[in-house]
Structure 1
């Protein structure tokens, strides 16, 4: 297995064309500030759902039933080890040096003692696994998420995260594998493995959700906000996010406003109130 350079020009052209199509479709707007492209998104959701029901879900169901669990775990660990390289880079770009170095230590341990990443030795050693991408890095530094967007085949996203996709694709180590047949087979296995891990959740959602589109959209936006801010948000920030596209700077400011002050000087102790004097008792005998 060797590595080759993918055609980056075509990747960037495809991304630019997708963003141009988004701008063109912005005329089909709704009153939902988080989802102004809802008519387009719902149409794309139906297309993706049809592909999932016809191809992906049956393949994932067979994958989960036929392959032994240890093989599925090995596949998941292998691709997870590759993703840790880019996760570490994004943590470093976000100024989270300790987490970034931990991610790269995970790669070193799992690639050697874990036999190419098939075994997750690092987690057993206490090194927590993180998940970061370039969209999260952009959000961390204040780039607003922009409207919700349902991408063909790729699923839920936002305009900001879509803009970060070309960087994520270029940083994906598997995209450099050669020959292309090996790369394509591995990519297909990875997609099916991810879908197999979501089977139970998707079955539950299909039974419970009245409007699956809204359920997926709202769940994705909340989860994405939590990922960008590492779960750090206040009631005020959540209220602002629900009223419009989440902006990293405004949400952090809201969190700072609600946080308790820690540098303020301690208040001076209050003197206790004086105890009222007891009524005097006269020693004279009352006159008759």
Structure 2
């Protein structure tokens, strides 16, 4: 997710976040001692602000998504013809291709940089400023690369988990990366309101496409933890281009070795 301004980026991020969560569990104190929920909240080193994050999550899901983003996305899908929705979405995401090119080059991913360049040239010309995704039919598939992934590629950690008001789940590294992405051409020269419209289009489509996944959240034991875990898994997946390293628990490995030695 890239940022040209704070408000311009909120639509897409919040819609991605909202389909992945619901109301949070409040901290309670019994006889002056913390409950198991509170203890669990304070145990995650990636989430030092969890008590605040959970409150923000409740506000995001119970109010903003329920009364604003979900009904608006349903109306958008219901009343705007599919060909127009598809064209608007293609134009909106086509503008992201240049920063994908640069971010791939920064990671020495020359083939992917070439694909993103080809996509932008084809779609911006033959595809009428991106209205038609001609590049996809030519075998050039879209794969967005953000500056936050560049930082992760060079070993910069995620930093604390952040549940931002309206914006949804993020991290210190991703927020820094989004800021840089916003300075790439042509995002840097797009006026405020056109960029808001672009984000709105992307957000409405994303919210509509992910609506079916709400059931997973409603059935989860702790929706907040579900969202946080999914967020970090997704970021790790993207940083490693779909092939994240397998983390081995040394203690479990030793116990397994001891067990096998008995046979």
TM-score by length of 2: 0.73
* Superposed displacement of residue 211, structure 1: 1.9
* Superposed displacement of residue 131, structure 1: 1.5
Q: Secondary structure at the match of 2:243?
A: coil
Alignment partners' CA distance in 2, 1:169 and 1:31: 34
Alignment partners' CA distance in 2, 1:115 and 1:214: 43
- Greater shift in the superposed pair: 66-75 or 131-140: 66-75
Alignment partners' CA distance in 1, 2:217 and 2:83: 28
Tell me whether 1:37 sits opposite 2:49 in the alignment: yes
How far does the alpha carbon of each residue in 1:139-180 deviate from its partner, in whole angstroms, 9 at most, with x for none?
A: 0011011222112222111121122221122237346334x5
5+ residue gaps, structure 1, are: 1-5, 9-28, 241-288
What's the counterpart of residue 118 of structure 1?
131
Larger relative contact order (C-alpha < 8 A, sep ≥ 6)? 2
How far does the alpha carbon of each residue in 1:111-164 deviate from its partner, in whole angstroms, 9 at most, with x for none?
A: 111111011111111112112111110000110112221122221111211222
Change in CA separation of 1:34 and 1:7 when aligned onto 2, cut-off 3 Å: closer
What's the counterpart of residue 128 of structure 1?
141
Alignment partners' CA distance in 2, 1:30 and 1:7: 32
What's the counterpart of residue 261 of structure 2?
none
Alignment partners' CA distance in 1, 2:235 and 2:5: 29
How far does the alpha carbon of each residue in 1:224-261 deviate from its partner, in whole angstroms, 9 at most, with x for none?
A: 10100112234326x59xxxxxxxxxxxxxxxxxxxxx
What's the counterpart of residue 104 of structure 1?
117
Tell me whether 1:189 sits opposite 2:201 in the alignment: yes
Q: Secondary structure at the match of 1:32?
A: coil
Q: How does 1:255-266 map to 2 (within 5 A)?
A: none
Q: How does 1:153-192 map to 2 (within 5 A)?
A: 153-171=166-184, 173-174=186-187, 176-178=189-191, 180-192=192-204
Alignment partners' CA distance in 1, 2:232 and 2:5: 31
What's the counterpart of residue 22 of structure 2?
none
* Superposed displacement of residue 205, structure 1: 2.7
Alignment partners' CA distance in 2, 1:129 and 1:166: 22
What's the counterpart of residue 211 of structure 2?
199
- Greater shift in the superposed pair: 31-40 or 136-145: 31-40
How far does the alpha carbon of each residue in 1:66-105 deviate from its partner, in whole angstroms, 9 at most, with x for none?
A: 1122222112211121111111111111110111111011
Alignment partners' CA distance in 1, 2:108 and 2:190: 30
Alignment partners' CA distance in 1, 2:203 and 2:142: 20
CA radius of gyration, larger in: 1
Tell me whether 1:83 sits opposite 2:111 in the alignment: no
TM-score by length of 1: 0.67
What's the counterpart of residue 216 of structure 1?
227
